[in-house]
Structure 1
Amino acid sequence: MALRPVHVNMKALDGLAVGRFWAEALGWTVFRPGVTTYVGPGDEFVWPDPVVLGLDIVPVPKSKTTAKNRVHLDLATDSAAHQAELVARLRALGATPADVGQGDVPWTVLADPEGNEFCVLEPRDIYGDTGPIARVVVDCAEPRAMARFWGEAMDWTLYEVTDEHAVLRSAKSVGPYLEFLRTPDVKTVPDRIHLDLLPYPGDDETAEAARLRALGATDLDLGQGDVPWICLTDPEGHELCVLAPS
């Protein structure tokens, strides 16, 4: 039994507008499969995508607070010129500079039109084959504990774990990395961004949710009511959803 991350779930007041921003940012396409806005590669809606983590943008009635998101995206570039061009293009699309205490760093921190922080990385060889999203970064207190939970929860490979960070990636070595980064911040508000996980065909989301609870996950009530997915939090309180098998 195992789960696979299938998309990054992002909340937004205006899901279509945020979707259009991210589609332009990533060179992807906006799809409207239902009440949510999905952003993924190609001209046809494919879900789950076999390689990338798409963005599933969910409309909510509340705007982002001033608190920094504890989950964000890092975008890949292949040259200094590409990084500068991408930053300029994103700002023209409505992104704004963001100060999260990063200081003097070679990457650029921006926020999308609804304030979700993200980074445009300087060129790094390790991200040469990830596609436009280099990694999904999760702030945490204990990377080793996160490596144990998420390494058991998903079928991704643990690439590296230290006291400062833990890095996972698809066992097929495709798509973005998932990095848990040690930070001094503590969680004060619900996550605006989280991962949705999907069982493989033949597996059951109820059994998978029970397995995650045994690993340290807890149930989460967001007022979701009777829905076909199961809302949980990991041992540090990061939200996640276990979806019904496709």
Structure 2
Amino acid sequence: MATRLVQVNVKARDEVALGQFWADALGWGTSSEGPGVINVEPPGLDWPDPRALFVDVVRVPDPETVRYRVHLDLATSSAEHHAALVARLVGLGAAPVDIGQGDVPWTVLADPEGNVFCVLEPRDLYADTGPVAAVVVDCDDPRALARFWAGASGWTVHEVDDEHASLRSPAGVGPYLELLRAPTGDSRRWHNRVHLDVKPEADDDQDAEVARLLALGAVRADVGQGDDVSWAVLADPEGNELCVLSPG
């Protein structure tokens, strides 16, 4: 039995506009599986694929103002690429933001709906990840959360200490999942606007996989999904929502 980390889910007021922003930002295309959902997809890859975490932009009622616990880091290959990418993203509708980062070599931006993300300075570690270097999750205990996400994602733990954990597909391709120790305060009361989706293999049983993740420390979560959806909504041991999709 196994689940695979397959996509990043982003809530939006205007899924078409935000989906197009992220498609343009990443150099990807878009499709739609139905009203209210825009799929942002790398060219030439069929979902799911370990070389990329796809992005689903989903329309919801006006999301709460929250402290974001999950964000994307974008990769760059040179100082010139970094400067050009930041300028292009601002031209697409992103805006520089100050989240208390101080004097750092990366650039912090917010997308047109206020979701914070980072454009990293060139780093050898991310030279082969594609445009998304990492999905970063703020947490209290990287060691403990790495154990959960290794079981939930099927990914391999590359580094772990008291401040940071890093996981990547066992195929050694695509972006990283990074768990960063950071104060979380009262943000546990709120739903995330960005969360991760995992998917069982085609011959696995969704209910059995949900039970396995519950045994690893997840809990069931209600984000208003109702009883007629094909996915199960859980929260990891630190309260970050995740969805267990139908097998495939």
TM-score by length of 1: 0.96
- Three-state SS of the structure 2 residue aligned to 1:197 is strand
Cα deviation 1:16-59 (Å, max 9, x = unaligned): 1001001110000011122310001116x832234200100110
Q: CA deviation at 1:201?
A: 1.3
Q: Secondary structure at the match of 2:209?
A: helix
Residue 208 of structure 2 corresponds to 207
Identity across matched positions, percent: 61
CA-to-aligned-CA distance 1:207-245 (integer Å, 9 cap, x gap): 000001111110011121121100000010000000001
Give the aligned residue type for 1:78: S
Structure 1 unaligned blocks of 5 or more? none
Contact 1:64-1:114 at 8 Å conserved across structures: no
In structure 2, distance between residues paired with 1:124 and 1:224: 39
Is 2:50 the counterpart of 1:24?
Answer: no
Q: 2:231 aligns with which of 229, 232, 238?
A: 229
Matched letter for residue 137 of structure 2: V
CA–CA distance in structure 2, aligned partners of residues 162 and 89 of structure 1: 36
Q: Which amino acid aligns with 1:125?
A: D
Work out whether residues 50 and 171 of structure 2, in 8 Å CA contact, stay in contact via their aligned partners in 1: no
Report the aligned-residue RMSD.
1.2
Q: Kindly tell me the number of residue pairs found equivalent between the two proteins.
A: 244
Secondary structure of the structure 1 residue equivalent to 2:199: strand
SS at match of 2:33: coil
Give the C-alpha shift of residue 185 in structure 1. Answer: 2.4
Match of 2:7 in 1: 7
Amino acid at match of 1:220: A
Please give the secondary structure, in 2, of the residue aligned with 1:32. strand
Matched position secondary structure for 1:83:
helix
1:244 match: 246
- Aligned partner of 1:56 in structure 2 is 56
Over residues 97-140 of structure 1, what are the superposed CA-to-partner deviations in whole Å (9 max), with x where a residue is unaligned? 11111000000000000000000000000000000000000000
Note if 1:173 corresponds to 2:172.
yes
Query: 1:66-99 CA distances to partner (integer Å, 9 max, x unpaired)?
Result: x331000000000000000000000011001111
1:210 is matched by which residue type in structure 2?
Answer: A
1:217 aligns to what? 218
Aligned counterparts of 1:33 and 1:50: Cα–Cα separation in 2: 21
